Copies of this chain bind each other. A is one copy, B any other.
Amino acid sequence: MSRQPDITRACILDAAFAEIHREGFRAASVANILAATGLTKGAFYHHFPSKKALGLAVIDERIAPLLDDWVVRPLDDGPPSSLSALLDLLERGRSADASAINLGCPLNNLMQEMSALDEDFRAHLGAILECWLRKLTALLLRAQVAGEIRADVDCEVCALFIVAAWEGAVSVSKNLQSAAVFHATMAQLRTYVESLRPRR
């Protein structure tokens, strides 16, 4: 076990992400996180000045990349048709595993818990959310230019609605502890997106 500070730091971040995903930030215990890594307080406070700094680092270095993998990159190099790229994304979202339904979306969980309590958390989380919204709005605008959705659709508001409905689907299915509820809600979201197509 030689000293590899960047690996140690990454190890703490991974354990912290898991703990925060399960327990939320405030209930997450630094002692628990360290127990999961086999490290001690000394190591932790060498790499992070405070628990809050750890939380912000988890957001920037663990949660934000997750969104990149799930949403941003699939939209960037998706199929040529913008609208079907979005529908593909929603379909893939339906295949979320049981743990995601049980524990919920890490971004949504932290937003719910921390946005009203701490402006720094709100800003870091909001940056991720707004990145998602910008990507989605841009996609809808491309689809609109291509004639895939009607000209009277407000793409920005529409993107907002899609994100909200998605997060709401995770939330409700988390409470009802039902993957079926999540799939049904996401299917309904797909029919909403379909309803944006021009009337034939």
Contacts and interface: CB of A to CB of B under 8 A. Distances in A.
A147 to B, nearest CB: 20
A153 to B, nearest CB: 9
Interface stretch (A3-11, A32-40, A155-163): A155-163
Specify which of A102, A169, A181 lies most central, judged by the most chain B CB atoms within 10 Å of its CB: A169
Interface of A: 22-24, 26-27, 102-104, 108-109, 111-113, 115-117, 122, 125-126, 129-130, 157-158, 160-161, 163-169, 171-177, 181, 184-185, 187-189, 192, 195
B172 A188 contact: no
A171 B172 contact: no
A103 B112 CA distance: 9
Contacts of A177: 115, 122
Query: How many copies of the chain does the oligomer comprise?
Result: 2
A192 B185 CA distance: 14
B185 A164 contact: yes
A112 B174 contact: yes
Given A122-B177, A157-B188, A168-B168, 11 more contacts: A109-B112, A112-B112, A112-B174, A115-B177, A122-B175, A160-B172, A161-B165, A164-B171, A165-B168, A168-B171, A192-B192
Contacts of A113: 24, 112-113
Contacts of A122: 175, 177
Given A160-B184, A168-B171, A185-B160, A104 B129 contact: no
Contacts of A174: 111-112, 115-116
A121 to B, nearest CB: 10
Contacts of A181: 160
Nearest to A166: B168
